[in-house]
Amino acid sequence: MKKLLLIILLNCFLFNISYALIEVDITRGNLDPLPIAVSPLHVDIKSENYNDIKVKELGENISEIIENNFKATGLFNPLKKEAFVQKPDITHLKPRFEDWRLIKAQALVSGKLLIKDGKLKVEFRLWDLAAAKEMTALAFTTTPSNWRRVAHIISDKIYERLTGEEGYFDTRIIYVAESGPKSQRVKKLAIMDQDGAKTKYLTLGNELVLTPRFNPTNQMVTYMSYFRNMPRVYLLDIETGTQEVVGNFPGMTFAPRFSPDGKKIVMSFAKDGNSDIFTMNLETRVVERITNHSSIDTSPSFSPDGKFIAFNSDRSGLQQIYVMRSDGSGVKRITFGNGIYGTPVWSPRGDLIAFTKMRKGKFYIGVMRTDGTGERLLTENFYQEAPSWSPNGRVIVFYRETKAGLKGEGFTAKLWSIDITGYNERQLKTETDASDPSWSSLLSK
């Protein structure tokens, strides 16, 4: 009892003078790209060569792809390898954090790989240099020919860990590859990795192809092709190369797109001389009319939850963007600005709609909220259109044409990408001229 009293008394006397905790608000930071060091992957000495893959260079090559991916985002600044202070094998075991901090790196990627018995095993670690700890570590096993994809997947994982949102590197872009003079363009369907590598042509170029679009759930593509001057909607499985005709549609048919569950396509075609919006169930092939209006309704695009459709219509005079429920009810106009609006595309995140705007002879690619507020024009040019979202809703790819001379000289069409902040506009490398891009979802999902 006495002890207790003593303790209580002591506590009372030892009561310290305490100050209110100082609080400082930090409301700004820098938006400079994050300096990151991507150490070449260490190649295990037990590795064997596989077909034409030179295993000794593989570690360098993978780290180079990762670096290029990061550079293209504009969010990271991969540091030059000459400045690196540790060998790849030791780095991967335990980096000397102080040394890496000296070259101003904030994050470090290390890794090692092994090819044995026809299998490629890649392991990587991401280090937080300021905190001197590991942030993430993963290992993959695959066939050695997939090494580029491994590099992209590693990039995705690191991007996700450092930015908090999903990556978009392990993806592909399908587009219309164009060649020949302007009056006699040969248009083929082509697909490539998002970094421009591994281009593959899917059609021969005998027929005109238009508006390829990815199925958000798998590697299926829908596109339009003119067969004996009749527009046809095709489905193409990229993995197997099988093609099928979905149907012949009368008159002008436009821009088929998949629903978010991949089971339907939505498109516009002219029935009885007037364009309206229809959906088609791919299993039952039943066509359902969505809009029935005397105006021209085109370019439908589903919201990612499948509940709404954004589309173009000239029902108020000039072409504007409208949103309706997916059954066609509750049509609401969302754009009221000056100029003509077209090609609305709902972001995979669901928060924004990308569009093309034409005003005073200039074309703009922009984004706005789904209720039409907060319009931001990201880029202006002579001619550009067909925005398509990266699967994480962060980057938009579109195509841009240059002005041609009287005989069509000087005409080019190229793919460009831009961040939704309006920064980091860059041209994508394609083997030929290109138009109508569509970005796939993540391949490794």
Partner 1 sequence: MIRSLIYSLTFHSVMILLTILSLPFMLREPVDLPPIVSVELIQISDQTNIPYAPKARKIIKETKKKEKERLVSEQAPPSAKAKEKPDRIPLPNEKKEKKQIVKKKQNPEEVKPEIRQSSEFEKKEIIDTNQIAALIDKAKEEEATKQKKIDKITQSSQKNSFATGLTLSEEDALRAQIFGCWSVPLGLPYNEDLLVRIKLNLKKDGTITKSEILDHQRMNRPGQKFYKVLAESALRAVRLCQPLKVPPTGYDKWKEIQLNFNPTEMLRG
Q: CB of residue 163 vs partner 1: minimum separation in angstroms?
A: 4
Q: CB of residue 22 vs partner 1: minimum separation in angstroms?
A: 5
Q: CB of residue 125 vs partner 1: minimum separation in angstroms?
A: 16
Q: How far is CA 273 from the centre of its chain?
A: 37
Pairing of strands 209-214, 230-237: unpaired
- Annotate 378-404 with b (16+ C-beta within 10 A) or e (fewer): bbebebbbbbbbbbbbbbbbbbbbeee
Q: What's the CA gap between 97 and 91, in Å, rounded?
A: 9
Q: Give the pair of three-digit tokens for residue 329.
A: 């009810």
Q: What's the CA gap between 166 and 158, in Å, rounded?
A: 10
Q: How many CA atoms lie within 13 A of 199 on its CB side?
A: 16
Pinpoint the alpha helices (H) of 53-204. Answer: 55-73, 88-93, 97-102, 147-163
Q: CB of residue 427 vs partner 1: minimum separation in angstroms?
A: 21
**In the block, residue with structure tokens 């790989």:** 113
Contact present, 163 and 396 (Cβ < 8 Å): no
Compute φ and ψ for 415, nearest 5 degrees: -90, 140
- The residue ranges that bind partner 1 (CB under 8 A) are 1, 5, 8-9, 12, 15, 17, 19-32, 34, 75, 106, 128, 130-131, 135, 161-165, 392, 394, 421
Bridge partners for 298 per DSSP:
312
Q: CB of residue 17 vs partner 1: minimum separation in angstroms?
A: 5
Compute φ and ψ for 418, nearest 5 degrees: -145, 145
Q: What's the CA gap between 208 and 203, in Å, rounded?
A: 10
Q: What's the CA gap between 279 and 284, in Å, rounded?
A: 12
Q: Which residue, 17 or 204, is less far from partner 1 as judged by CB?
A: 17
Q: CB of residue 28 vs partner 1: minimum separation in angstroms?
A: 5
For residue 286, the surrounding DSSP H or E stretch is none
The conformation of residue 304, written as its DSSP 8-state character, comes to T
The conformation of residue 53, written as its DSSP 8-state character, comes to B
Q: Which residue, 137 or 246, is less far from partner 1 as judged by CB?
A: 137
Q: Which residue, 163 or 217, is less far from partner 1 as judged by CB?
A: 163
Q: Which residue, 76 or 147, is less far from partner 1 as judged by CB?
A: 76
Q: Which residue, 9 or 83, is less far from partner 1 as judged by CB?
A: 9
Q: Which residue, 5 or 406, is less far from partner 1 as judged by CB?
A: 5
Bridge partners for 313 per DSSP:
297, 320
3-state secondary structure of 41: coil
Q: CB of residue 109 vs partner 1: minimum separation in angstroms?
A: 16
Q: CB of residue 119 vs partner 1: minimum separation in angstroms?
A: 32
Q: CB of residue 164 vs partner 1: minimum separation in angstroms?
A: 3
